[in-house]
Homo-oligomer: A and B are copies of this chain.
């Protein structure tokens, strides 16, 4: 079988190296090119020594003629890059999966106000598919361009979905208290990401407005088919990988703990990457470290009118590179879990 030819644009960040880690054991792909303007010429394994002996590739300049020979191109770039190259790539028959935010927001005004730049290709937004397989699996199969969801949005949307599709909670008062490991801040050299500034400490940030807020809101509004009010507070965890989102909703009607559990289990019964924990247990981010799983639990504390969901993912896997591979698998009609059977690292 001919292997799917993969290109990766922007391979020097954490989502780039994570794509390489996952694709290394993928049975049906070959990474053909990995680009980085700043590191062109450097062997990938010199930057990421965990890849020594596995990839023989060097970073190259991002050139259209090379990329257009790929079957699929992943963008693991800052926002604003993918939108400039995508039209030509899909024109050339290449599928595009953008791990950044260029295609995540349907409303161009909202996008431009949060990202502070004009969008380069509003004309293709109509065909973009938001790559959350649990909600959009069929559309993803036929898509040419995938907006791979953000890390927080993945954990929060999967957690709220059963409640919202059933109309169980007051959509005027949704709260998502989310926490992320430091790898979510990227590989950029910033004082705020130093080990001496972040380990042994914990804080909220971005309360006044985080770019994942409009993305999450858009997703929840599609589920609810109505406008929602969402308060989203992200926090920074003193660890490398993992997102946990604790979600709060106000129940509109009486539903027992048992029925909540059943609803969650049934909603995700067929999903290979969503795992509803048994009643009376709770997920820990370490249960998904390095794997593409999302694990969650649902509670109704003291039988009151508040429902609490806690949802965990590895921000670099199900929250980024793993979900991107899952989307690729769907687009190329492969097994959905191809290359994604890693077991989480415990301890």
Contact = CB atoms under 8 A, between A and B. Distances in A.
A21 B345 contact: yes
A203 B285 contact: yes
Interface residues of A, number: 89
A288 B199 CA distance: 14
A308 interface: yes
A275 to B, nearest CB: 6
Contacts of A50: 286-289, 291, 343-346
Contact of A203 (B250, B282, B299, B343): B282
A179 B196 contact: no
A20 B345 CA distance: 11
Contacts of A233: 246, 301, 308, 310
A202 B14 contact: no
Given A201-B285, A242-B201, A347-B240, A193 B196 contact: yes
Interface in A110-143: none
Given A48-B346, A302-B209, A308 B231 contact: yes
12 contacts: A17-B346, A17-B347, A52-B275, A175-B248, A185-B196, A189-B191, A202-B284, A231-B248, A237-B237, A237-B238, A238-B239, A241-B347
Contact of A282 (B188, B205, B342): B205
A242 B49 CA distance: 15
Given A185-B196, A200-B241, A203-B284, 7 more contacts: A24-B341, A173-B173, A196-B347, A200-B242, A201-B239, A207-B310, A208-B301
A252 interface: no
B189 A244 contact: no
Given A49-B277, A173-B173, A308-B231, A240 B195 contact: yes
Contacts of A183: 196, 347
Contacts of A304: 229, 231
Contacts of A277: 49
Interface in A28-67: 48-54
B208 A347 contact: no
A270 interface: no
Closest 7 CB pairs of A and B: A201-B286, A50-B344, A203-B284, A196-B347, A177-B177, A195-B195, A189-B189
A191 B190 CA distance: 8
Contact of A343 (B25, B195, B202, B347): B25
Contact of A195 (B179, B188, B194, B308): B194
A299 B344 CA distance: 36
A305 B173 CA distance: 9
A253 interface: no
Given A244-B204, A310-B204, A347 B235 contact: no
Contacts of A312: 202-203
Interface string A294-308: 010001011011101
A82 B328 CA distance: 47
A254 interface: no
Contacts of A244: 202-204, 235
A240 B207 contact: no
A71 to B, nearest CB: 22
